[in-house]
Chain A
Amino acid sequence: MTIMECAGCTLIAYGVPFSMFVFTIAHHPFRVIISMTSAFFWLLSLLLSSFLWFAVVPLRTQLAFAVPFAVIFQEIFRFLFYRLIKKAEFALQRVQMQELTDKGMVFDRFAVAYASGYGFGLISGTFAIVNVLSDMTGPGTLGIFGHSQDFFIATAFLTLCVILLNTFWGVIFFTSLDKGGIHRFIGPGTVVLTHMLFSCITLVNRTLTPMYTISLIVGYAILLGMIIYTVVLRGFNLNNIRQRIN
């Protein structure tokens, strides 16, 4: 009865993002819209990647060829979304909606970056795991051909990692571009490099007896690094944090 396993893996992959959604995005219609639009941009990047995959006929079976290009396309579309947001912010400022500002409808750049990263991550994670989840609903699990039984849990944790990573990449990307100067290159550069590193590490999982621990550890290490980078970028130091907590 692997319905239990399917439910468990769904909760692992979507538990934390669900809480994030409830407490940070659900109450804010603007952030909901940003998330959905951002997800749509991710879909467009996937469309382009699949065209490339489809076009290069001999390399269709070699996933290792398609993955780096998929990463590059995703980051390009993240940048395009940033440009779109910039235009919207500019237009909103032109209109100078005083009533909206009184109501508290401010253009919070950090929130927008966060929501965009979240949307990107959610759709990316969904595409990674939803096929696996639907195959899990049958009576059996992996193992008849010698695969490891931990595939499903590992996939769920990797999906969680992907969603969270994308959220922080979004924040880093947008914040760095807004800051200008040297950050305009360091921020996006870090994002692209770590994204590439993470995706290529997951290719290791495709062998018959994969070491899921490698990709999981690398993924969560990258996540930790991204969290620290975000915190540094936002200018937090110990005093600020103490202020916030009170």
Chain B
Amino acid sequence: MRSSVIFVYLLLSILCVYCSQPKRIVDQMYISFDHARYCVRRLNGTHEIGCQSSASGNSGRMYMIDNDEEFNSYLMNTKLIDSSGSFIIVLNVNLFNTYYVDKLITSLSSKLNGLLLYLKSTPSRPEYFSHDDQCPNHRYSYYLNQTEIINWNSKGTGLFFRSFPFPIMLIDEEDDYKQLIKFYRQFNYSQSSSPTCGLELKSFQNAAHSSKTCIRRNDISHSLIDLEETFCDPVGGLNIYSKLPQSFIIIPKKRQPKSVILILTTTDSFQMFLKIKGTTGGAQQPATSLITFLALAHLIGQEQNEFKQQDKEIIFVTLDGDALDYSASFKFMFDMINGSFPIGNQNEEPIKVEHIHSIIEFQSLSLTDKLSLYTYPSSLINQTFIDTLVHNNPMIIPMAVDSSLPPASSQIFLRQTSSLSFPAYILTSTNQNQLSNHYYHSFFDDPSTLSINISSLEYNSTTEFSQWIKNIVESFGQTLIESFVGIKKNVTIKQEIINNLVYCILKNINCPLIHNVTNQSTGNSFDSSNETSLPFSINTYPVAATPTFPFVQNILSYFLRDRIYDTYNLNETTCKQYSNNDSFCSYTYVGGYAPSIMSEQSFDGYCVRSYIRSVSSMSPAFTIDNYDLSQTTYPAWTESRWTTISLRLFVIPTRKHEIITLVIGILLLSVSFIVCFILRYYTNISLLQPSSS
């Protein structure tokens, strides 16, 4: 027994010896690109979009196309096209639009095995790069039906919403591009039959066909054989809302009609090309709107004594999931109509459609000289409010009455109430019916488009951008006070607060601000996202460990906190005791964010009384019982799951070489077989004679 144990141990150690051998041939054969962006598959109720590769990867001969002339000469070079069974076309990112892609697909048909896009260098990025539709979020009936259809994103290619049978990847790092071009020039320049470079793209997606099929497959379990395997996840994150912790309408007290104002913004975006540990874009949309939103929340919190003098509630709402057919807005309206807004306390009177006074939205803001204010419907809007706003901020230009709304969450709020209940005010950056964002829903939408030099941005740097935000927020806050409280007051917000928000959201989410407004354990959870900006991408349910939601929750609730508690010197246990008596608000003990605190005394820690709620923002399609996902009542977006994504470069052997090897092998086998056969039957050599020993 003992000897066999020792033997097994010895055998295992031999295996370890062999496994730890780093010098395998495969390391000398392939060059891996680990920082490539990839395109994944997503599904809605009836269709699939995105890219798919075969399970073992799509490989082919590499061919590089840098400009239009090379493109045309390649398509006319039938000899080259016939020489290989599959191609991976390496395309300059400037050529990635419907014209070139469709031409490649029709000319090469099944020979096109994959597409690799490259960016030569950061300054050479294309001027427009957006793969959303020309009229974003305008599918089925998931928008407000208005007479005129405007192409807000006229340079959009719509390629994001197409389904490709091959994988598409993108390399955006200069080192990767240099390596690629070096080997390409070395091997593929001569069109002789010397070995050429090939690429293999592997991005196998588990989901297929449509959300309905995929969700059905998720539930199939072969019980005895294997566990359930999840192929796709529904799109959804958290809708977060918060307000000043003033008085609460406790049943049986009745809520007054038209007493709630909603301020909306979104926290999600999408990109066609994802990257692990890479930037997600989203600097103009939604980061700029989010920063404006949070700064306004701080301003309202700062002036809470004024707002206490009137009876209207201002609720700040962030929606997550609106980039794809407004899933989050549908969910929010669904909750509101069914009486589950706000959640948390059954004693609180629900807010229904008739209680909403108006909605204000910050959407698609960019660093522009002029801002557009869209309002709808003309029958319900308050012209005085608009006039005050324009008077306080001449940058804002009100759009014509009843003009078509840009893509905005408010469209769904109006659609679900048939535009009969409350007006919507949308602040956005458009110019002559065009979004000012050249990189709408693309990873190129980074801080450089906001004239921010991200590498030199410090925690308290005042930039042109943060001053622009201060201007907008102050005038907006002033207008809100004028309209609802009725007094004219010059309000200011400290530049430092906006600088800090810009730094945290656009550069490093693990910043002093978030640590000052959270308790120790929550603050430590941000350490893992050090040196990363706030990610803006499609979130799926179950909610992954994205730092977006804790960030927004903590900062929003802190900014709208009950400021009387800033003057109390409490310790942690007392703070906890308070929370036992109050079932509406949450009490956290934090270090305190100095620029926000107005009182002269400063303490080691502060008890923060705030009102914050988070609800899943998954489309109602996934939560309603027996809902047929192919119906188009509610959007039903899901994202596929995948395992490994890899991009490899290697040399393809010539056809001649392969055939020669195979022929030699077959020859050797057959010749030796025949020789042995002859020797057995025609000679007397004892070795070859069949016997029983």
Contacts and interface: CB of A to CB of B under 8 A. Distances in A.
Interface stretch (A71-79, A138-146, A186-194, A218-226): A138-146
Contact of A11 (B11, B30, B668, B685): B668
B26 A27 contact: no
A144 B198 CA distance: 10
A12 B665 CA distance: 4
Contacts of B11: 47
Interface stretch (A102-110, A173-181, A209-217): A102-110
Chain B at the A interface: SS class = helix
Contact of B29 (A16, A105, A141, A243): A141
B195 A152 contact: no
B430 interface: no
B19 to A, nearest CB: 11
A5 B661 contact: yes
A19 B675 CA distance: 9
A144 B650 contact: yes
A18 interface: yes
A9 interface: yes
Nearest to B13: A54
B181 to A, nearest CB: 14
B597 interface: no
Contacts, number: 170
Give the interface size bracket for B toward A: 35 or more
A53 B20 CA distance: 13
A24 B183 CA distance: 50
Interface residues of A, number: 59
Interface in A106-124: 106-108, 110-111, 114
Given A28-B692, A140-B30, A141-B29, A11 B665 contact: yes
B493 interface: no
B658 A1 contact: yes
Given A139-B57, A142-B29, A142-B651, A12 B17 contact: no
Contacts of A245: 682-684
A29 B200 contact: no
A147 B28 contact: yes
A28 B28 CA distance: 43
Interface string A1-28: 1101101111110011011101110011
Interface of B: 10-11, 13-14, 17-18, 24-26, 28-31, 57, 59, 85, 183, 187, 195, 197-198, 200, 648-653, 657-666, 668-669, 672-673, 675-677, 679-680, 682-688, 690-693
Interface of A: 1-2, 4-5, 7-12, 15-16, 18-20, 22-24, 27-31, 46-47, 50, 53-54, 103-108, 110-111, 114, 131-132, 135, 138-145, 147, 149, 151-153, 156, 160, 243-246
9 contacts: A29-B692, A104-B692, A106-B693, A110-B686, A135-B24, A141-B195, A143-B187, A144-B649, A245-B682
Top 6 closest A-B pairs, CB basis?
A140-B650, A11-B665, A15-B669, A8-B661, A143-B651, A139-B59
Given A11-B665, A141-B651, 10 more contacts: A1-B658, A2-B658, A11-B662, A23-B688, A46-B14, A110-B686, A138-B650, A139-B57, A139-B652, A160-B668
